[in-house]
Structure 1
């Protein structure tokens, strides 16, 4: 049951990313960068970039969710050209997966 919940969360996160891509009118050369972050790092990313899409999860499940998110997103056309290989370093207090576009700096 727990695996189904994590898989569902990964699919919902992918859906949120695809929706944000359409909503914010991303061009073909614009891509999301995904990373694992703690609350402070998430706040810094949100201050610097817009839009962002994040999800929070217990630290114990973060590694499994991040792996499932990579699998789900790499199946979508938006990530087919540049598949996700790594989400960065997980710290002890990491609890978020956050996506941002490094080209779109918050003004």
Structure 2
């Protein structure tokens, strides 16, 4: 995947997160936790938390995308108080970036 495509995907993911933040009425002290996940982990997170925002990418581009997502998101007001330094554990078969709010469990 070209660098421009990865940069575009990072910006689109940040846009989706900001939209979901507004759509679901997050308060100023609420935020997102981001994890790198495989398909099974993604499904588990989606079943446990609501809302979630995820994007899939080839595993060879995942590290580059995750670094760009951190840079783009740390520039947005939603992450100003708690910038993203790391993602959750990455596995060899990780192919998704999944964002969720740990305080908003699926009911």
Q: Distance in 2 between matches of 1:74 and 1:15?
A: 13
Cα offset for 1:24?
Answer: 0.4
Q: Give yes or no for the alignment of 1:79 onto 2:87.
A: no
Q: Distance in 2 between matches of 1:63 and 1:7?
A: 12
3-state SS of 1:70 partner:
helix
Cα offset for 1:89?
Answer: 2.0
Q: Could you say which residue in structure 1 is the equivalent of 2:15? A: 15
Cα offset for 1:28?
Answer: 0.8
Q: Any stretches of 5+ residues in structure 2 without a counterpart?
A: none
Q: Distance in 2 between matches of 1:60 and 1:90?
A: 13
3-state SS of 1:11 partner:
helix
Deviation beyond 4 Å, 4+ runs, structure 1: none
Cα offset for 1:7?
Answer: 0.5
Aligned residues: 107
Show CA shifts across 1:5-48 (max 9, x none): 10000000000000000000001111000010000000000000
3-state SS of 2:31 partner:
coil
Cα offset for 1:90?
Answer: 1.4
Q: Could you say which residue in structure 2 is the equivalent of 1:59? A: 59
Q: TM-score, normalised by structure 1?
A: 0.98
Q: 5 Å matches for 1:1-107?
A: 2-107=2-107
Q: Distance in 2 between matches of 1:52 and 1:88?
A: 15
3-state SS of 1:8 partner:
helix
